[in-house]
Each structure stands twice: as structure tokens, then as C-alpha cells.
Amino acid sequence: MTTPAISIIFFIVAAFLGALGQFLYKSGADLAGSGLASYLFNWRLFAGVACYIAVMTLFVAAFRKGGSLTVLYPIYASTFIWAALLAFLFQAIPIRPVNVAGMGMLVIGMFLMGK
């Protein structure tokens, strides 16, 4: 079974949106206070939820196009790379050599799983 390119693109976008959702949850949690209202009226938390809804929608669309689990789910593992890049760009969290090595291993694993 060949996975269509559109399914792969959907999963790449889903991986980025998943990382963006994680970033928004983290930044929303940083801004939240101890009261319930600080969670209910926190736009970043709601934007994070919207990202995850979009991720699930893209998953369904990719599978309906004929995507293979063994090809697509390894692509979603790139979420960890996107999350590190977002944290570096927007929160100045350093990416150390050991992180780069881990990212490289993820890419190699994604490649091997897709074979």
C-alpha cells in the first residue's frame, strides 16, 4: 500500500500543529493563576485545544486518503523537533548538542519506519 503525498503533508502539518498546541498549553499554563477563571478565559489554552482538534481532523483526512499507519505515525514524531524549535524561538530555551543528537535519531527512526 502506497501512502499518498497529501496524507504525508497532512501529517507534517499535524506534527507542527501538535507542537504549537504543546507550546500554547505551556505558555497558557505560565499565565494562569490559581482560580478557575484564569483557565476558562485563557486564550492560549483554548488555542492549544484548537490545535489538537485540527490535528485530529488532519489525522482523519490523511487516513481517508489512504495513508498507512507505519508511514504516517513516524512523521508525527517530528512534533518533538517542532516543539524544541518553538521553545528556542519564543522562550529562548537552548537546544544543546544532545538535543540535536536526539532529533537526528528521530529523523533516522522516521526514515527507517517509513521503509
Could you give the percent of the chain with pLDDT greater than 70?
A: 99
Per DSSP, the residues of 41-57 read T-HHHHHHHHHHHHHHH
Write out the three cell numbers for 41. 478565559
Read off the pLDDT of residues 34-78 as tens digits, 9 standing for 90 and up: 888 888 889 999 999 999 999 999 999 999 998 788 888 888 989
Yes or no: say if 74 and 114 are a contact pair by the CB < 8 Å rule.
yes
Count of structural domains within the chain: 1
> What is the per-residue pLDDT for 45?
93
Handedness of CA 55, 56, 61, 65 (dihedral sign): positive
Could you give the percent of the chain with pLDDT greater than 90?
A: 66
Domain that holds residue 110: 5-114
Name the band, by pLDDT with cuts 50, 70 and 90, for residue 1: low
Yes or no: say if 10 and 58 are a contact pair by the CB < 8 Å rule.
yes
- Report d(CA 95, CA 50) in Å as an integer: 27
- Report d(CA 70, CA 86) in Å as an integer: 26
Q: What pTM was estimated for this model as a whole?
A: 0.86
